[in-house]
Amino acid sequence: MLVLFIRSILIYIVVLIVMRGMGKREIGQLQPFEFVISIMIADLAATPISNSGISIINGIIPILGLLVMDLIISIANMKSLKLRELISGKPAILIYRGKINEEILRKERFTINELQERLRDNNIMNLGDVEYAILETSGQINVLQKPSKRNTIPEDFGIEPEYEGISYDLVIDGVIMYENLKILGKDYKWLKKQVEKFGYNPEDALVVTIDGKGQFFCQRKDKKSR
C-alpha cells in the first residue's frame, strides 16, 4: 500500500510538471493536438499507478516524451502557417453578416440547435441579433452582435474614460508581496503607513490591494486566524 501511495504521488508530480510545461490554456481552449496529448498523458499516468508490476520509470518516460512532442508541435505551429492549419485547422464563419452559412455548418457537423445553444452560452437568445459567429480552432464560438444590439460603450458617446490600470496585491493572508511593492516603486514602510490608516499592521491583514487609481481595499484577518 505504501509503495502504491508513493508511486501515485510521484506520477502526480510528474503529470503536474508536464501540464504546467504545456502552458496555461483552459480545457475548452486546447488545440486538437493538445487535447489528444492530454488524454494520452492521463491514460499513461493511470497505468503505473494501477499496475505495480510496471516500473515507474517506464510510466514517466512516455509522459515526458509527450511533453517533448507537444513542445515540438507548438514551436512548429509558430514557425509554419501551413503546418498550423494542417494540425489545428482554421476558424470557420458560421454566421456571416447575419446569415447562417449552411455549407459551413454541414462541413463542421453543426446543427442549428447546437448553434443556438452555443449562442446562449454567449448570452444571445436570438439568432437575429448576430452579425458574425466564428467557430475557433479550439471549438469555442466567438460572436459579434449587430450594431443595434450591442451594448453601448463610452466611445459611442464621445467619452474618454480615465485610465484605470490593474490592481496589485500588496498583502495576502498576512504575507507581504514585496515583488509588487517593487513594481510600484514602494517599500514596506510606505505599506505599513497606508495599512495603519485602517487601524492595524500589514501582517494582520487578510488582503490588501491597490488599484490603478491608488485606491486601497483592506480587510483584517479574523481573530481565530491570527
Strands (E), the chain: 92-96, 99-100, 130-135, 141-145, 168-172, 175-176, 205-210, 216-220
Residues 132 and 113 occupy one common structural domain: yes
pLDDT: which is higher, 30 or 94: 94
In the sheet with 130-135, reading across from the earlier edge strand, the strands are 99-100, 92-96, 130-135, 141-145
Q: Which of 116, 149, 182 is the last residue of a domain?
A: 149
Query: Strand pairing partners for 217?
Result: 209
Q: How many CB atoms lie within 10 A of CB 66?
A: 17
In whole angstroms, what separates CA 210 from the centre of its chain? 24
CA 99 to CA 27: how far, in whole Å? 30
The CATH number of the domain where 105 resides is what?
A: 3.30.240.20
Question: What cell does 221 get?
Answer: 484577518
Residues 6 or more apart whose Cβ sits within 8 Å of residue 180: 168, 169, 170
Residues 21 and 42 occupy one common structural domain: yes
Q: How many helices (H) and strands (E) does the chain have?
A: 8, 8
In a domain, 155, yes or no: no
Amino acid letter for position 111: T
Average pLDDT over residues 139-144: 89
Q: Which of 49, 71, 86 is the last residue of a domain?
A: 86
The model's pLDDT over 196-216, given as tens digits with 9 standing for 90+, comes to: 999 999 999 999 999 888 899
Single pTM value for the model: 0.60
Please report the pLDDT score of residue 82 as a whole number: 79
Quote the number of domains for the chain.
Answer: 3
Strands (E), 58-172: 92-96, 99-100, 130-135, 141-145, 168-172
Out of 3-7, 87-91, 95-99, least confident range: 3-7
Out of 32-36, 140-144, 169-173, 186-190, least confident range: 32-36
In a domain, 190, yes or no: yes
The model's pLDDT over 103-137, given as tens digits with 9 standing for 90+, comes to: 999 988 888 888 999 999 888 988 889 999 999 88
Residues 6 or more apart whose Cβ sits within 8 Å of residue 129: 145, 146, 149
Coil, helix or strand for 169? Answer: strand
Does residue 55 contact residue 73 with C-beta atoms inside 8 Å?
no
Residues 72 and 103 occupy one common structural domain: no
Could you give the residue ranges of the DSSP H alpha helices within 109-187? 112-121, 178-184
In a domain, 160, yes or no: no
Domain residues for 206?
168-220
